[in-house]
A and B are shown apart, each in its own frame.
Chain A
């Protein structure tokens, strides 16, 4: 089955700096890669996703890049703000309608 590795497990940055979280996947047939943000005690919420036919996608301060050959994808957050502090999960899925395979999460702390 699919195995998703996520690094780093914790990340601390100063407000205004950029943050990068990286994930690798094992199943070359995976074609959908969402990122979820989970604040303490709350539900995971989708913040951005990318499909295998696209190399990069951007939404305001958040971007995701995908390298299919190397089987890795990354989340980039620019101009970080304290409210970006949360746990971020990457995931991979082969086809629509299948369960997500999650990484172990990255705890991001943005200090003022």
Chain B
């Protein structure tokens, strides 16, 4: 069974530039999550989708972050413009029920 796929795996950008991350969840999983994991901390939810609808985006910095999940499958997360404090690993996860399965993450470095 294929797992959660993410790309790119690494990205280095300068502050004020924009960046986009892509996630392909496990086939059939209706729920998709984007987490931000800052070095030395646990993952923190940015946004949660149920099919193509947003369930929770209360912790998403909406002035610079946006996300979409067209057709209820793949999802993209965008940051525009990036700040130094956005340097982190961005993890995508999907679930059908309680268990969440994580992708390998995208490691973002903002210089």
| Interface hit among A38-46, A66-74, A78-86 | A38-46
- Residue in B44, B56, B98 whose CB lies within 8 Å of A93: B98
Tell me if A76 counts as interface (CB < 8 A to partner B): no
Residue in contact with A89 in the complex, picked from B42, B50, B104, CB distance below 8 Å: B42
Residues of A within 8 A of B (CB-CB), count: 23
Interface size range on B against A: 20 to 34
Query: Within 8 Å of chain A (Cβ to Cβ): is B54?
Result: no
Q: Please measure, in the bound complex, the distance between the C-alpha atom of A102 and the C-alpha atom of B68, giving whole angstroms.
A: 24
- In whole Å, how far is A99's beta carbon from the nearest beta carbon of chain B? 4
**Interface-centre pick from A34, A89, A97 (highest chain B CB count, 10 A):** A97
Q: Which residues of B contact A (CB under 8 A)?
A: 4, 31, 33, 35, 40-45, 48, 50, 55-56, 91, 95, 97-105
Interface, chain A (partner B; CB < 8 A): 4, 6, 32, 34, 36, 42-46, 49, 89, 91, 93, 96-100, 102-105
